[in-house]
Amino acid sequence: MKPNSRKAKGRYLQNIVRDRIIKMFPRLTKDDIRCSMMSENGADVKLTSTMARRLFPYSIECKNREDFKQLFSHFRQAEKHTDLEPLLVIKSNGKTPLAIINLEHLFELQED
């Protein structure tokens, strides 16, 4: 894949996340939350105002990669077990376990 295509994929996902946060919190604008420029240090989606950080207290890193296929396969396995909300917990040796949930489910949790 060409570097420009990779960058476009990354921007696409960043924009989805930014727009979804703004939709969830209508008081926020694109001045409160913005996508980082390519190769800019820090989070991929920047919460630039105190209000944005208070409403959505997460450091956001976006990765849109094909090599996550196996994770999606495991997540589908969790979906098939029951009609409950799927949760995939992953761990690597010496690392802290991570929880993977559907992005929309994350936003639903924040709205409660």
- What is the pTM (predicted TM-score) of this model? 0.83
Quickly list DSSP for 33-86.
Answer: EEEPPTT-SS-SEEE-SHHHHHHS---B-----GGGHHHHHHHHHHHHH-SSPP
d(CA 27, CA 49): 12
Q: pLDDT, tens digit, for every residue of 63-88?
A: 988 889 999 999 999 999 999 999 99
User: Parallel, antiparallel, or unpaired: how do β-strands 98-100 and 88-90 relate?
Assistant: antiparallel
d(CA 36, CA 41): 8
Does position 10 have pLDDT exceeding 80, yes or no? no
Q: pLDDT, tens digit, for every residue of 24-55?
A: 999 999 899 999 987 789 999 999 999 999 99
